[in-house]
Amino acid sequence: MRINRVSLYHIHLPMLCSSFTCSLEPGVSSADVVIAKVETDEGLVGYGEAGAVGGYPNYAKGILASSAELIKRHLINKNPCDINSIQQSMSLIDGHGSIKSAFDIACWDIFGKLLGQPISTLLGGKLTDSVPIYRGLPLKKPADMAKEADAWRTEGYRYLLMKIGCGNLNEDIECIEAVMQNRQPGEHYTIDASGRWRVDEALTVLKAVQHLDFVLEQPCWTYEECLSVRVRTQRAIKLDNVITDIGKVLRAQADRSCELMTLKIDKLGGITQARIAKDIASAAAIGVTIEAQWGTEILGAAVTQLALTTPPNRLLAAPDIHTYSSISTTSNNPIKVENGQMSMNNESAGLGIVVNDDALGEASLVIEA
């Protein structure tokens, strides 16, 4: 079996919440994704996806062009089930996981369809039937953030991640206090500065809210700055933006720079590398969230299936990323979201999705053997 055609689609996903603001980007009204449709000479077809948004290292147009070049030069004509060979070719380009992710996921989708098994089975089997989901709260004024937290609480969400880093430390502190004032038993909070603070600013905020129980995510932009915060506080730290490859996972484990990690499938380069990162973190007793930058049900299914294979005592939560936008790319409702939990609605082969090609529109780029 050989890959004979790859179609790449650049899709805009309008946000259901009108705009999503974090310290990196003041008001994102739509997210961008790149979707790959990988076709073979034996008729099997696989789909994959990578997310992009303003403020992150890889923008959609860059992902699109670079992915096409990588596929054209090194991946077209390969057997999609030769995952190791494909990874070896991808390793010729250091980093830049987002340009590899969609293709890698599509190959796993084909592999599963060939064997008639869901990806979770190919990864060794599910360790749970459903995973907790968290909801991201965009950066707003303190009272507005508190109201939004209350609203999602009524929907069954018990894991909340709030964006802070507005440029005013006093307002950041007010936001944290406002959101957590109605905290209910069993709820878990993550405070995500998205790298906005200096080390001294992070320490100032932590001192002001030391009476509150939460995890601090990515307080500063660089790994070294985050490590500097970690050694000065007893607060649990989660690393996110700086976890871009397996080397960073290994370094964080060796330095004991965090208690938790965010593992973004698309940022790490797809399921193959994200699985290795998940296994290393699990072995090191580091808690993880399995997620992606943005995505439709295609990437959402990859997130869900990988999360289902994560030891429950190592998995914090995963996001239901496909619910942040009104755009749907599938016709079979593959992901079930109910009462703060997420699972696959079926045990179908591969990703478990039936993609609606009409929803993808016309391909932005096509690479043929």
For 231-242, the DSSP string reads TT--S-EEE-TT
Contact 136, 161 (CB under 8 A): yes
Task: Let me know: does 74 contact 89? Beta carbons within 8 Å.
Answer: yes
- Please report how the helices 169-180 and 142-154 are oriented relative to each other, as an axis angle in degrees rounded to 10: 30
Catalytic residues: 163, 264
Cα Rg, the chain, nearest whole Å: 20
Residues 276, 309: contact at Cβ < 8 Å? no
Strand positions, DSSP E, 174-282 = 188-192, 215-217, 237-239, 260-264
| DSSP per-residue codes, 20-56 | EEETTEEEESEEEEEEEEEEETTS-EEEEEEEE-TTS
The most distant pair of C-alpha atoms in the chain lies apart, rounded to whole Å, by 62
Written as one letter, the residue type at 275 is R
* 3-state class (DSSP) for residue 192: strand
144 CB burial (10 A radius; 0-12, 13-18, 19+)? middle
Are 31 and 60 in contact, with CB atoms under 8 Å apart? no
Q: Which residues, in sequence order, are bridge partners of residue 189?
A: 160
Cross-strand pairs, 196: 220
> Can you tell me the distance from the alpha carbon of 108 to that of 103, in angstroms, rounded to the nearest whole number?
9
- DSSP helix, strand, coil percent of the chain (3-state; round to 5): 35, 25, 35
Could you give the 3-state DSSP secondary structure of residue 252? helix
Yes or no: say if 304 and 131 are a contact pair by the CB < 8 Å rule.
yes
